[in-house]
Amino acid sequence: MKNNFLGTTFCENYCNFLKLDAKDVLDKIITLHINPVRIGVYWDEVEYEPEFRYQSNKNNFDFKHFDWIIEKLDKNNIDIILAVGAKVPRWPEFHLPDFIQEKYDFKKGEAINNPFLLAETKRYIGETIKRYKNIKSIKWIQVENEPYEPFGPNKWIIHPEFLAQEIHYVKSLCKLPIILTGGGMDPIPPWIGNIYGKFERTYKLLEQDSDIIGLDVYPVIPHEFLWKMRYFRANEANWKNLEKIKHEIEAHNKRVWITELQAEPWEAGKMNTKSANANESCNPNLVCAYLKKSQEIGFEKILLWGSEFWLACEKDRNTAWVNNLKGFFLR
């Protein structure tokens, strides 16, 4: 029976960082029947600096890092979420080509709304959608990733007007459903999250013309507190608040997914791939517990974050991650 509710995000660069063969990793994801798979098309990997910098009409696009991924997933009937924008999944969040980034001097924490950058972003999005719009397995387009969350080294966010223009442009190019993503749950007490506007940022996504809101769920994270790195853990109040967010989004006639469910360690130091329980922030049993809670709440689709890490563990003869999760994928 085809699994079509439990997916993941796949990144060739992260495979390289973990010293894995990306093709082998994708083969394993397909073998496990993980579906759907989200692919972020990184702008800095597809557009290179034009030979003549000042000829603005000269584009230089090369999709070799993504063609093979999309072709293999399509051949194996795996549904694809195509993520496009200046900010797509994986560090450092914003993936601007060097020759683009050199043109702009954005301040730390700026809400980016530059009309010239918008035009260039739309050019890259247009080339990407034009290349892949006839791939039947591409079922959704995600526009930006966590656009209102100040993650990454520069703490930049996407301005709502910038995002609205991107969505309008994507809708003019194809009829696929639009996904927007934002914060859903972390170990911070909900009342503190409200003070800092965390949930307000998620609800602000509802103002945009999208079809699906994807939430990020990270039950354990490290954070420096009182001059010491500590691990903060979600409790039942956090899970109840996640359920409340889901219902409030659905009340606005939008579907709700979990687009990132923590399924790899988020460590203060280096991650351990050799032992299933060596990482304080996450282990296979915790992930199974998170999955059960998420399914009880009733999420339509759940994307696990960290499939590349499980296979790095498997390479180090630590098979607990793959074996514990296999039962969910093969149901």
- Grouped pLDDT means (10 residues each) for the chain, 331 residues: 85 97 98 96 90 60 97 98 98 94 92 96 97 97 98 96 98 98 94 89 97 98 83 96 97 98 95 95 96 96 98 97 88 66
Q: Which domains does the chain possess?
A: 6-329 (3.20.20.80)
Residues paired with 87 in a beta bridge: 94
The pLDDT score that the predictor gives to residue 228 is 81
User: At 125, which helix (H) or strand (E)?
Assistant: helix 115-132
Residues 6+ apart with CB under 8 A from 214: 142, 179, 180, 181, 182, 256, 257, 258, 259, 260, 303
The pLDDT score that the predictor gives to residue 265 is 97
The pLDDT score that the predictor gives to residue 60 is 87
The pLDDT score that the predictor gives to residue 213 is 98
pTM score, whole prediction: 0.96
- C-beta of residue 125 within 8 angstroms of C-beta of residue 88: no
The pLDDT score that the predictor gives to residue 52 is 55
